[in-house]
Amino acid sequence: MSFGDPNNPYGQPQGQPQQPGYGYPQQGPPQQPGYGYPQAPPVQQYGAGGFPPAAPTSMPGLMTAARVLLFIIGGLQVLVGIIAGIAIAAASDAVDSDAASGLAGLGFIMVFILLVFAGLAIFLGVKFSTGGTAIRVIAIVYASLMILGSLANFTSGQATGVVGGLVSLAIGGIILAAMVNSQASAWFNRPRY
């Protein structure tokens, strides 16, 4: 029995075109991998010519948000530090005792630490556009310390401490999330000419 046999009841009638899906398959049998010629090499990670992709030319959106938050936090810390310093100085002048001057000294140390963190936040925000991996690592440490400080606010039991802790936790979390993603890695590792 051949395909063109006119007496074959199962064959294609002569003179009619073969319909797709009936009769012989339209394509050859599937090839099994590993037999015959070797498989094609895998697609290169980089684009045409094997060159790496171009470095980002503008700061990613999440990084810009983290930068703005650093400026806001730095500005608020400077403002709170100045107000607290004025209040501590006024309180120490009003009360003339050794205990009050000791507490005032401790208060001024806390204000100094607050102003150092404010300066660090502003410095990090400024260096986001030109800084390298060290700026990224310092920003990660800064955000981690901010998160730890916000968790300490929860233990105070006061409503203002809890609200301040939530706000600080959210801002520190956003900054930390912005610093540990792949876009931050690409931004801080880009070539600088």
Q: What is the full per-residue pLDDT of the chain (193 aa) written as tens digits?
A: 445 566 766 665 555 555 555 555 566 655 565 555 666 666 555 555 555 555 567 788 888 999 999 999 999 999 999 999 999 888 888 887 777 778 888 889 999 999 999 999 999 999 988 888 899 999 999 999 999 988 888 887 777 778 888 888 999 999 999 999 888 888 888 876 6
143 domain-assigned: yes
25 domain-assigned: no
169 domain-assigned: yes
- Give the total number of structural domains in the chain: 1
- Determine contact, residues 118/81, Cβ cutoff 8 Å: yes
Which candidate, 152, 149, 153, places its Cα nearest to that of 162? 153
pLDDT value of position 73: 94
pLDDT value of position 24: 54
pLDDT value of position 117: 93
In angstroms, rounded to a whole number, what is the distance separating the alpha carbons of residues 30 and 139? 55
In angstroms, rounded to a whole number, what is the distance separating the alpha carbons of residues 115 and 108? 10
Q: Which residues of 41-80 are buried (b: 16+ CB within 10 A; e: fewer)?
A: eeeeeeeeeeeeeeeeeebbebbeebbebbeebbeebbee
Expressed as residue numbers, the domain containing 70 is: 61-188
pLDDT value of position 2: 47
30 domain-assigned: no
17 domain-assigned: no
Token pair for residue 66? 């983290």
Q: How many helices (H) and strands (E) does the chain have?
A: 5, 0
**Which residues neighbour 50 within 8 Å (Cβ) at sequence distance 6 or greater?**
44
In angstroms, rounded to a whole number, what is the distance separating the alpha carbons of residues 180 and 51? 25
- Determine contact, residues 151/143, Cβ cutoff 8 Å: no
Q: CB-based burial of residue 97 (10 Å sphere; 0-12 exposed, 13-18 middle, 19+ buried)?
A: exposed
12 domain-assigned: no
pLDDT value of position 1: 46
158 domain-assigned: yes
pLDDT value of position 116: 95
72 domain-assigned: yes
Evaluate if pTM is beyond 0.85.
no
